[in-house]
Structures are given as structure tokens and as C-alpha cells.
């Protein structure tokens, strides 16, 4: 498929970009998307949750009452989980929530997400551009010219640009990443993708 390329002032650049069909026009696999997003979110969890069990709470170890003849149940320690302040039974322990996912499944998920965006007409191609210095106002002007301001917009660059990144950092609805940072979650989280011309070629080179 082909998309018109625009300048950052919103005018047509007079050329088109070729998007590979095996990246932007595949048969989407929803299960692959689900697994990749699930792994991404799981990897974000710190997993540092922790409660104290009865061996860790700071209480006396003295037996609370005699074994027999007390008229009730036997109790060996105030650390028991049945008492207020006692240890937690089967509480959470520190753990890693991340799990392995095959590279081909992750690639299929990313291409499926890109395909959905292409089908929805939610991709805009722009000419490569740079910014002499960080300036949020200038970046907002670019978004306005491309008619994507006010929506969750993901700008994907072929390579890192510090000034472009710093210009967008204070905008809650805009996010700038490089092609190396693409993942299924950020693609789906955005309402619109702005691809800098050249990103599609890098993706095509790395799909093998």
C-alpha cells in the first residue's frame, strides 16, 4: 500500500511512501496481540509486594495458655494469623511476573497492530525533520498542521532526536519513540501514528 507523504507544515510533499503489505496489510492475529500486551504489562510490574508470615512478625513466642483444660482451642503463639497483628497466611511474596514469548509471536503482534492502524486510516507519513532546539510550541504547531493534535499521537522516528523528544515530553497526548522502541502496547494505546519517512524501510529490513 502507498501513503502520501506530508511536510511538517501540513502540505503535501509531492511523493508517496511504499508500505510493505507483509507488515501493514497482514491478517491480524488478535491472540498474538493479547499475549504481547499481557507480557508487556506483566514486565512493568515491580513484584515487590510482601507481607510478614508468623515467623517474621515481632511478637512473643510464649505459649498463650495451657494445652488442655482451657475450655477452648489450643493456641501455641500470638503470631498466629487468626489474631490481630499476627502473621499473614499465604500472603504475597516478591516475584517476577515476566514470562517468555517467542520473537515471531511478538513480531506478528506488532505487525497486526500496524495493520489495524493502516486499516483505520490512522497513519500519517511525514518527511524527515529536525529541531534546532527543544521547543514545545513548535512541536504543537507540527501536530496542528498534521491535524493530529488533541488525540493520543505516537510519533515514530528512524533514529533518536533529543530535541524532538524534549519538545514533546510535556505533552500528555503525544509520545515520541524511535523505531527500535516500537511495541504492540504503545501502538494500540495511540489513536494516531505519525511515521517519519524511512521508518517503514527499517521495519521492512528487520522483518526477516
Residue 5: band (very low, low, confident or very high) from pLDDT cuts 50, 70, 90: very high
The answer to whether 167 touches 138, Cβ cutoff 8 Å, is yes
Residue 134 to residue 100: CA distance in whole angstroms: 38
Rounded to two decimals, the pTM is: 0.84
The tally of CA atoms less than 13 A away on the side-chain side of residue 153 is: 22
pLDDT at 207 over 80: no
Nearest residue to 124 via CA among 1, 3, 2: 3
Residue 114 to residue 83: CA distance in whole angstroms: 55
Percent of the chain with pLDDT over 90: 85
The answer to whether 192 touches 124, Cβ cutoff 8 Å, is yes
pLDDT at 193 over 80: yes
Which helix (H) or strand (E) segment holds residue 113: the answer is helix 103-119
pLDDT at 144 over 90: yes
Q: Which pLDDT does position 103 carry in this prediction?
A: 94
* Chosen CATH of 2-46+98-206 out of 3.40.47.10, 3.40.50.1950, 3.40.1370.10, 3.40.50.10320: 3.40.1370.10
- Running DSSP on this structure, what letter comes out for residue 177? E
pLDDT tens, position by position, 38-70: 999 999 999 999 999 999 999 888 888 889 998
Q: Where are the domains of the chain?
A: 2-46+98-206, 51-91
pLDDT tens, position by position, 97-135: 999 999 999 999 999 999 999 999 999 999 999 999 999
pLDDT tens, position by position, 6-27: 999 999 999 999 999 999 999 9
Amino acid at each position: 500500500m502507498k501513503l502520501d507523504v506530508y511536510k511538517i507544515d501540513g502540505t503535501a510533499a509531492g511523493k508517496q511512501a511504499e508500505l510493505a503489505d507483509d507488515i501493514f496489510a497482514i491478517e491480524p492475529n488478535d491472540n498474538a496481540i493479547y499475549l504481547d500486551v499481557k507480557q508487556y504489562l506483566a514486565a512493568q510490574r515491580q513484584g515487590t509486594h510482601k507481607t510478614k508470615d508468623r515467623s517474621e512478625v515481632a511478637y512473643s513466642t510464649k505459649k498463650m495458655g495451657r494445652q488442655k483444660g482451657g475450655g477452648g482451642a489450643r493456641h501455641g503463639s500470638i503470631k498466629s494469623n487468626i489474631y490481630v497483628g499476627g502473621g499473614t497466611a499465604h500472603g504475597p511474596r516478591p516475584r517476577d511476573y515476566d514470562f517468555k514469548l517467542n520473537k515471531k509471536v511478538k513480531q506478528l503482534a506488532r505487525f497486526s497492530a500496524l495493520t489495524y492502524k493502516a486499516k483505520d486510516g490512522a497513519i500519517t507519513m511525514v518527511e524527515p525533520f529536525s529541531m534546532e532546539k527543544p521547543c514545545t510550541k513548535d512541536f504543537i504547531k507540527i501536530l496542528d498542521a498534521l491535524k493530529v493534535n488533541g488525540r493520543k499521537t505516537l510519533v515514530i522516528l528512524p533514529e533518536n532526536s533529543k530535541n524532538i523528544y524534549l519538545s514533546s515530553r510535556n505533552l500528555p497526548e503525544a509520545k515520541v519513540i524511535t523505531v527500535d522502541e516500537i511495541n504492540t502496547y504503545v501502538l494500540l494505546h495511540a489513536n494516531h501514528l505519525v511515521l517519519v519517512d524511512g521508518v517503514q524501510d527499517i521495519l521492512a529490513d528487520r522483518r526477516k
